[in-house]
């Protein structure tokens, strides 16, 4: 449906997109995910035609649309701010795009009423948008985009202004509508959970380049780089030494002689200094000696314990660094513990020396 090749975008001397290659299939829901400043909104606006490209191509069904204005690209966008007309009621806002296309008034009414039913806004057609809740305004903005029957739906962080409960509800509603209408959709978000819940494929961007493309399961379970691992929640990092052992890797921690584990899988053939990432929920804390399970074991002490609802997030200080570990019960500060990370929970990469691997969650 969409083929992007060598796409570059610059603002003055600052190149924001540095050669993006991406395919989006018909009827697919793709999420663009990444930290602030990675280029995801710029990519969406360039696809829509609101931002001009420096180089590259954007083909929609085999037609290069890079030089065409937004109204000729068969796309509709839902903006983060909703961009509703405050002096119009719900029906006028949803039907505005149809009015610009000179669709007869009766046809506009029929189309808008059908959308109101789909969006669970029956009876709101004459309501001023200023009197609507945030969730209702989001539905109106979505209805306005769907009214023109676009081939491609673009969503620029459409849920960021909603409270947590409404945001969870709208995730599933938007996904359900996209499936029902078989729309091709591209979502921009910085929320990894939102991307995984809504999308068929996740595209992680890093400093204007594609860091990884895959299903939510692939990106979450097999992150391709330290940046992707950190952004997808594996924010605990320990520096280790790796030794290739057949098809797997044996790890040791330089300043913790007893911390060793075998059977770790690592992409590539790198040995020597490595950077190991793991998630707080995949590690456990042992209070009574060192367990015998095949795990990387790091002795340390509790420095803080915070209740998250259903469990506690413990801060553990070790000679190898400070880690955040989830635990079912509260542990008092100063308690001696052993952090145990199973071999299959470790993401191993050649150690980076020229950039920071951590990304904001």
Confidence at residue 310, expressed as pLDDT on a 0 to 100 scale = 86
End residue of a domain, out of 182, 197, 226: 226
Q: Which of 147-151, 227-231, 286-290 has the lowest mean pLDDT?
A: 286-290
CA distance 337 to 51: 53
Cβ density class 245-264: b for 16+ within 10 Å, e for less:
eeeebbbbbeebeebebebb
Average pLDDT over residues 311-323: 94
What pLDDT is attached to residue 294?
75
Question: At 84, is the pLDDT very low, low, confident or very high (cuts 50, 70, 90)?
Answer: confident
Q: Could you give the CA distance from residue 100 to residue 275 in angstroms, rounded to a whole number? A: 56
Same domain, residue pair 12 and 117: yes
Confidence of residue 179 (pLDDT cuts 50, 70, 90): very high
Half-sphere exposure of 208 (CA within 13 A, CB side): 12
Which of 193, 211, 226 is the C-terminal boundary of a domain?
226
Closest of 334, 36, 3 to residue 157, by C-alpha? 36
Question: Of 211, 226, 241, which closes a domain?
Answer: 226
- The domain that contains 212 carries what CATH number? 3.40.50.300
Residue 357's pLDDT is what?
43
Domain count, the chain: 2
Are 168 and 316 part of one and the same domain? no
Q: Which of 72-76, 133-137, 332-336 has the lowest mean pLDDT?
A: 133-137
CATH code of the domain covering residue 296: 2.40.50.100
In this structure, the answer to whether residues 201 and 241 fall within a common structural domain is: no
Task: Identify the H or E element spanning 91.
Answer: helix 90-94
Structure confidence by residue, pLDDT tens digits, 165-174: 888 888 998 8
Residues 316-322: what's their mean pLDDT? 92
Greater confidence (269 vs 351) lies with 351
Sheet holding 75-78, edge to edge: 75-78, 152-156, 184-189, 29-33, 201-206, 209-214
| Angle at 347 (CA atoms; ends 267, 322), nearest 5 degrees | 145
Of the pLDDT bands very low, low, confident and very high (cuts 50, 70, 90), residue 247 is: low
Task: Report the mean per-residue pLDDT for the chain.
Answer: 88
Local confidence band at 71 (pLDDT 50, 70, 90 cut-offs): confident
* Model confidence pLDDT, tens digit, residues 49-65: 999 999 999 999 999 99
For the purposes of burial, counting CB atoms within 10 Å of the CB of 182, is it exposed (0-12), middle (13-18) or buried (19 or more)? Answer: exposed
Q: Does residue 361 form part of some domain? A: no
pLDDT at 290: 52
pLDDT at 356: 44
User: Residue 28 contacts by C-beta under 8 Å, 6 or more apart in sequence?
Assistant: 1, 184, 185, 200, 201
Residues 42, 132, single domain; the answer is yes
Whether the model pTM is above 0.75:
yes
Kindly tell me if the per-residue pLDDT of 6 is higher than 80: yes
Which tens digit of pLDDT belongs to each residue from 297-311? 899 999 999 998 889
| pLDDT at residue number 360 | 43
Q: Which residue range is the domain that position 326 belongs to?
A: 228-350
- 252 lies in the same domain as 137: no
Q: What is the predicted pLDDT for the residue at 359? A: 45
CA–CA distance, 15 with 17 (Å, rounded to integer): 6
Across 203-221, average pLDDT: 96
């Amino acid at each position: 449906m969409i083929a992007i090749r060598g796409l570059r975008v610059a603002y003055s001397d600052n190149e924001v997109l540095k050669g993006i290659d991406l395919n989006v299939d018909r009827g697919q829901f793709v999420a663009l995910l990444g930290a602030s400043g990675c280029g995801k909104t710029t990519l969406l606006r360039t696809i829509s035609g609101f931002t001009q490209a420096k180089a590259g191509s954007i083909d929609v069904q085999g037609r290069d649309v890079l030089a065409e204005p937004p109204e000729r690209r068969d796309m509709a966008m839902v903006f983060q701010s909703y961009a509703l007309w405050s002096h119009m009621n719900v029906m006028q806002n949803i039907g505005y795009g149809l009015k610009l296309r000179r669709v007869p008034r009766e046809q506009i009414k029929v189309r808008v009423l059908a959308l109101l039913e789909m969006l669970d806004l029956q009876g709101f057609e004459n309501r001023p948008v200023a009197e609507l809740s945030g969730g209702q305004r989001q539905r109106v903005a979505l209805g306005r985009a769907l009214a023109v029957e676009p081939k491609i739906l673009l969503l620029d962080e459409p849920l960021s202004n909603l409270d947590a409960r409404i945001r969870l509800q709208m995730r599933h509603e938007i996904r359900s509508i996209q499936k029902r209408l078989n729309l091709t959709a591209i979502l921009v978000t910085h929320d990894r959970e939102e991307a995984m819940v809504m999308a068929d494929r996740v595209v992680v961007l890093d400093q204007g380049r594609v860091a990884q493309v895959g299903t939510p399961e692939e990106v979450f379970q097999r992150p391709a780089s330290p940046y992707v691992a950190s952004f997808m929640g594996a924010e605990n990092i320990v520096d280790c030494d790796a030794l290739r052992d057949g098809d797997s890797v044996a790890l040791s921690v330089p300043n913790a002689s007893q911390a060793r584990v075998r059977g770790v899988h690592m992409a590539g053939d790198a040995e020597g200094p490595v950077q190991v990432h793991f998630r707080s929920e995949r590690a456990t804390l042992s209070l009574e000696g060192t367990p015998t399970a095949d795990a990387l074991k790091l002795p340390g002490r509790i420095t803080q314990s915070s209740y998250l609802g259903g469990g506690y997030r413990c801060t553990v200080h070790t000679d190898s660094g400070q880690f955040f570990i989830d635990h079912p019960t509260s542990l008092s500060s100063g308690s001696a513990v052993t952090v145990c990370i199973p071999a299959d929970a470790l993401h191993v990469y050649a150690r980076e020396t020229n950039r920071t691997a951590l990304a904001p969650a």
